[in-house]
A and B are shown apart, each in its own frame.
Chain A
Amino acid sequence: NAGVTQTPKFRVLKTGQSMTLLCAQDMNHEYMYWYRQDPGMGLRLIHYSVGEGTTAKGEVPDGYNVSRLKKQNFLLGLESAAPSQTSVYFCASSDIWTGDDYGYTFGSGTRLTVV
């Protein structure tokens, strides 16, 4: 019963390097999201997807790209990492509104440091 799995859990990048963060969910959820969390800033939405093959920009999309080629996976890419992208990245998935909540499930996070 994995839920939402993020890989890697930790990563240190040099400025200018690229990397891809992988999010995988096994709950057959339609919606998936990438958030970043910085000290004193709360969680901010980077990009999200409302279904396989779709993506949309969130509050802070600059410097990131995403892809949702398969329903269960949502990839977040950093083409040229910058120190300002040092953060904790959380992936989440959810289903349609159930009348109580969206059934949001978060992954355990990826701690990224860009030096």
Chain B
Amino acid sequence: RKEVEQDPGPFNVPEGATVAFNCTYSNSASQSFFWYRQDCRKEPKLLMSVYSSGNEDGRFTAQLNRASQYISLLIRDSKLSDSATYLCVSASSGYSTLTFGKGTMLLVSP
């Protein structure tokens, strides 16, 4: 079983829609969590870190539930420019190596 699992999608949504991505992790030693965004044929880029208290950055909201080992990303008012693959990522305590999920593709259409 892969350490970080995501629904691969693709998620096809119209502009303005709200879309939610879910992610589960199996390594209970994982301490830090992130969402990365990857555009086609480009390198991954950090979208936001995920905190237990939940955190928001503009239209993006991330949540972490340690008891359920579950992470989510909510995108409100989707834009065409949000079309990309969203990677759920974990890191274990004491290490800086990241474990990536396979990614969920989002396609936002006019």
Instruction: Identify the A interface with B (CB < 8 A).
Output: 31, 33, 35, 40-45, 48, 50, 58, 90, 94, 96-97, 100-102, 104, 106-109
Contact = CB atoms under 8 A, between A and B. Distances in A.
B28 interface: no
Contact of B44 (A31, A44, A102, A106): A106
B96 A43 contact: no
Interface residues of B, number: 21
A101 B8 contact: no
Interface in B84-110: 87, 91, 96-103
B91 A43 contact: no
A57 to B, nearest CB: 11
A43 B100 contact: yes
10 contacts: A40-B8, A40-B102, A42-B87, A43-B100, A45-B98, A94-B96, A97-B96, A101-B34, A106-B44, A106-B45
Contacts of A90: 43-44
A100 B87 contact: no
Contacts of A96: 96
B97 A45 contact: yes
A102 B96 contact: yes
A33 B101 contact: no
Interface of B: 4, 8, 32, 34, 41-46, 49, 87, 91, 96-103
B96 A100 contact: no
A104 B101 contact: no
A108 B43 contact: yes
B9 to A, nearest CB: 12
Nearest to A40: B102
Given A90-B44, A101-B49, 12 more contacts: A33-B97, A41-B102, A43-B44, A44-B100, A45-B97, A97-B32, A97-B96, A101-B32, A106-B44, A108-B42, A108-B43, A109-B41
B101 A42 contact: yes
